[in-house]
Structure 1
Amino acid sequence: MASRGKPAKKEKPIEEFEVLDVKDVGKEAESLLRYAKKYISEGSHSKQLAVGGVAGWITGYIAMKIGKTIATAVGGSLILLQIANHKGYINVNWSKMNKDLDSATKKLAHAGSDPSIPQMLDKVQHFVVENGYFSCGFSGGFLIGLAS
């Protein structure tokens, strides 16, 4: 009587993956933003208005979709927590919560004094003032994106 051996397992082919170097991604993104800024600034008024409108519409549409999802998740979780608290499933230690909120408020106030934030806001304000047509197009497109 012949003995049955286990069938040989099929060897899976080894997949080769490309290793991506992400060290220069920040530099590439900065270069891309610099190019986009130059492209927008040197363009005609109609080009600035059109590019701003399209960019604003896309941004507004994405913000609306993400905003609805976040609002639904946060609102639903707050309702569930209130129901669980009311039914006695959870008890909230309000004094500890207030102490933690005060601590978080102090940390945020300290983080808000970062000197790089005003510099960044100055750059944004300068861009908005220098490219008024783009800014107006972006604002209008953003509102249209929120409405669609």
Structure 2
Amino acid sequence: MAKPIPDIDLRNISRRDELKEKEEKTFYDETIGKISKYNSKELILGTFGGWVVGVGVAKVGKVAAFGLGGGVILLHFATELGYINVNWERIREGLGKSQDILDRLLRFVKNNGCFSVGFVGGFFFGVASA
């Protein structure tokens, strides 16, 4: 049996597309879509991102701090005993590159104040909750 011809009213085709778009929205789109102001969206996303990072840092932080601290102490003793020779010029060059990264980070913080404040607050909540 043949399919019936759909009844399409070309005058309402734009409304049909709007209805179709509403049906295809995800949970994220619906939730973020309810927040009307751009600054509010930045604050919420920054807070959530900071919380996730804070929980991760709290979980991994103790092991990483122990390993990093122990490694620095071992490197210091090895340098003092003459097993390792440190190339200080190369370290200074590496620090110059990190200065550029820090400048870019500070520019981002200045341009995205709401996101940055939310991230810092969320980070502290994440560390405290883990």
TM range (shorter): 0.5 to 0.7
Counterparts of 2:79 and 2:119, CA distance in 1: 46
Q: Residues 112 and 47 from structure 1, CA distance in 2 versus in 1: closer, same or farther, beyond 3 angstroms?
A: same
Q: By how many angstroms is 1:107 displaced?
A: 2.5
For these two proteins, the number of residue pairs brought into alignment is 91
Q: Residues 70 and 128 from structure 1, CA distance in 2 versus in 1: closer, same or farther, beyond 3 angstroms?
A: same
Task: Name the structure with the higher helix share.
Answer: 2
Q: 1:57 aligns with which of 34, 47, 51?
A: 51
- Equivalent residue for 2:64? 70
Q: Which runs of 5+ in 1 are unaligned?
A: 1-42, 82-91
User: Scaled by the length of structure 2, what TM-score is found?
Assistant: 0.54
Counterparts of 1:59 and 1:112, CA distance in 2: 25
RMSD over aligned Cα atoms: 3.3
Q: 1:140 aligns with which of 121, 124, 127?
A: 121
**Match runs of 1:86-125 below 5 Å:** 94-97=80-83, 100=85, 103-114=86-97, 117-118=99-100, 120-125=101-106
How far does the alpha carbon of each residue in 1:37-57 deviate from its partner, in whole angstroms, 9 at most, with x for none?
Answer: xxxxxx611111100000001
Name the % identity: 35
Q: Which amino acid aligns with 1:56?
A: G
Q: Which runs of 5+ in 2 are unaligned?
A: 1-36
User: Scaled by the length of structure 1, what TM-score is found?
Assistant: 0.48
Q: Residues 46 and 70 from structure 1, CA distance in 2 versus in 1: closer, same or farther, beyond 3 angstroms?
A: same
Q: By how many angstroms is 1:73 displaced?
A: 4.2
Counterparts of 2:124 and 2:107, CA distance in 1: 22
Q: Which amino acid aligns with 2:94?
A: A
